Structure 1
């Protein structure tokens, strides 16, 4: 049975960004972070696969090609759980706007494409709140592929989906892998009510639309940082 998503019941707001590699999501969330910080709001940023405790084990497993689809999923969930309990949840309880560059939906897309049952993956991440807003930066698959393949000298083994045996050629494997992830994201977008943002446009136009959504759906004034003056 698919677990019911947990609603955020903390004073803070959780904003996630999702999308294919090359969709511009990381650029947009960085711009959101800087805008909020410079406007004086309480904001915290976290990104996928960045736990200091888990990161080295993940690198070693990838470097030696030791990760099966199941262990790949479990080690990323461990990374997520560590960041969630140490950073995300405490900051939400402290009344911050938390920006997540990829959230549990990244696992739901990638791990299911790697062959893990979707209900199993959803159960793994059932401890985590549903974001208040999930921005899904969508663009044609061909555009996303061209951006990545045109900007990187070489594809990493797991990035290209080489562990799935899709093709002996990294580029061909990457295209197939990303195509499957794209389909998975489209299904997730409908199921979880993502806020779709067309990212096949200038960066400035996308950012203005994102800021407009935040202004409309969040009482930003509630998250203004309070200056603390020290009187001596």
Structure 2
């Protein structure tokens, strides 16, 4: 029997990588076999187009690469990762814990389209990645929701104010704000479990957020 695929996603700066590591530790402590994966897989050749896109080689603005083209860059990277690194574990019953997944295309690419095309895009994305590419559907998507102002401050701290280290997504405040809107829309449309990660001014304690994530996971066990 296939294992479980749990996705932890969120906007830039929301702490999803940190929380994925903490949740993996919790799941292992209770005896689960857990494989932690993350997208994009920057260490692999499959991420080449993603790196070119984020590095501004196609356009210096996210909107310079249309939603469908950019989505395929990320989808191909996921397909390669699945076939090379976690298909066997997933099919043998392991829990796969993914930082970002197909949900990230909805968050980051859908806003490039007029709002009246969002439902059409979500249907296309579902068909392309799950049906055409045959990637596993997640059992659960947990979205870490953080206020844009708090997340922006954390991103600034990450790079020490060095703007040159930001990718084209992180440099574009208007784009990041649009991602907040697409994330909330997709979360409702696709039944993601949402967790608030800040109090409006500061991030909530890491352990508090981890506990909320584990509660969501256990409620679906």
Q: Return the TM-score normalized by structure 2.
A: 0.78
Q: Look up the SS of the partner of 1:134 in the other structure.
A: strand
1:37 corresponding residue in structure 2 = 28
Question: 184-193 or 84-93, which moves further after superposition?
Answer: 84-93
Q: Look up the SS of the partner of 1:21 in the other structure.
A: coil
Q: Does 1:186 pair with 2:189?
A: no
C-alpha distance 138-61 of structure 1, shift in aligned 2 (>3 A)? closer
2:129 corresponding residue in structure 1 = 125
2:218 corresponding residue in structure 1 = 215
The CA distance in 1 between the partners of 2:54 and 2:144, in whole Å, is: 27
C-alpha distance 64-178 of structure 1, shift in aligned 2 (>3 A)? closer
Unaligned runs of 5+ in 2: 60-64, 199-203
Check conservation: 1:108, 1:122, Cα contact below 8 A. Answer: no
Check conservation: 2:148, 2:180, Cα contact below 8 A. Answer: yes
Tell me the alpha carbon deviations over residues 167-193 of structure 1, each in whole angstroms, 9 at most, x when there is no partner. Answer: xxx4xxx22111100100001110111
Larger Rg: 1
C-alpha distance 88-192 of structure 1, shift in aligned 2 (>3 A)? farther
Select the structure that is richer in helix. 2
2:148 corresponding residue in structure 1 = 141
* RMSD (Å) for aligned C-alpha atoms: 2.3
Unaligned runs of 5+ in 1: 1-9, 161-169, 219-232
Check conservation: 1:111, 1:121, Cα contact below 8 A. Answer: no
Check conservation: 2:7, 2:140, Cα contact below 8 A. Answer: yes
Query: Of residues 16, 19, 28 in structure 1, which corresponds to 2:10?
Result: 19
What count of residue pairs does the alignment treat as equivalent?
A: 197
1:195 corresponding residue in structure 2 = 193
Check conservation: 2:55, 2:168, Cα contact below 8 A. Answer: no
C-alpha distance 209-59 of structure 1, shift in aligned 2 (>3 A)? closer
